[in-house]
Structure 1
Amino acid sequence: MSDPDPTLAEQVQRLYELSIYRRWLFVTLCWLTFGQYGLWQFRGDFDLWREHFTWVALRYGLAFHLMGAFSLFFCIGVTGAVLVWQSTYILRGLSPRERLRLENEVKNIRELGPKHPLWKWICDQSGDGPL
């Protein structure tokens, strides 16, 4: 095999870190919008649950506030998916398929140059950039 390009490896790492930040930003925005809406829907049920918590009370609260329940389940699902995705990377590292996809994306960013919106975060060599 040929010697890997250290600049490409560094740029792939920057792109991966940027994808981590974007995913957690999406999770945060979901919780700030859908999560707040879902919790607001259950505001009347919290008093009942605090006094007499039963699984039946929880079930009826979820059944009568479907949009609030779907909002909370969506936020929990997105958070869980990002946690599983990131823990897989921590435990196993990047898979060859993911590394190839990131390398192709970096090459695409390099070809487009400064016209690409991620150019200054991935390929700009003047300083470390915002990451």
Structure 2
Amino acid sequence: MTTDPSFTQQVERLHRLTIYGRWLFVGCLWLTVAPASLWGLRAEISLWQQYFTWVAVRYGLFYNPLSTFGLAFCIGMTAAVLVWQSRNILLGLPQQEKQRLEKQVSRIRQQGPTHPLWKWICH
């Protein structure tokens, strides 16, 4: 969009804020959903400690779908953020993502100090 160095720096800040936000979300999942899911599987985990077989794991997860979904969601979101961030590190930001960030920074600049992200992006 523009070659203004402060604009480019603000786009980078917004991208960094997006990264922090995604990892914060994943961290909150692991601090809330994962313990609740593991608590739901406590009887099965006790059994697995005594007689571990993959069949016991399979049936334990199959008959506790809510706990299984919670753990799968935590693992899936962690993997998704890892893949997303790895792609951005190795291949750079896709053009579409750059344009989205640039539009968002333009909207933040246009709205000014009343925008919630103003102090984080345009300080």
TM-score, with length taken from structure 2 = 0.96
Q: CA RMSD in A?
A: 1.3
Letter in 2 for 1:108: R
Runs (4 or more) in structure 1 with deviation over 6 Å come to: none
Distance, in Å, in 2 between the alignment partners of 1:121 and 1:97 is 23
Q: Which amino acid aligns with 1:72?
A: L
What is residue 77 of structure 2 aligned with on the other side? 78
Asked whether 1:46 is paired with 2:45, we answer yes
Higher fraction of helix: 2
Q: How does 1:26-37 map to 2 (within 5 A)?
A: 26-37=25-36
1:117 partner SS: coil
Matched residues, percent identical? 54
Residue number in structure 2 paired with 1:119: 118
Matching residue of 2:59: 60
Offset of residue 47 of structure 1: 2.0
Q: Structure 1's 51 and 102: CA in aligned 2 closer, same or farther, altered over 3 A?
A: same
Q: Which residue of 2 aligns with 1:88?
A: 87
Q: TM-score, normalised by structure 1?
A: 0.90
Counterpart position of 1:18? 17
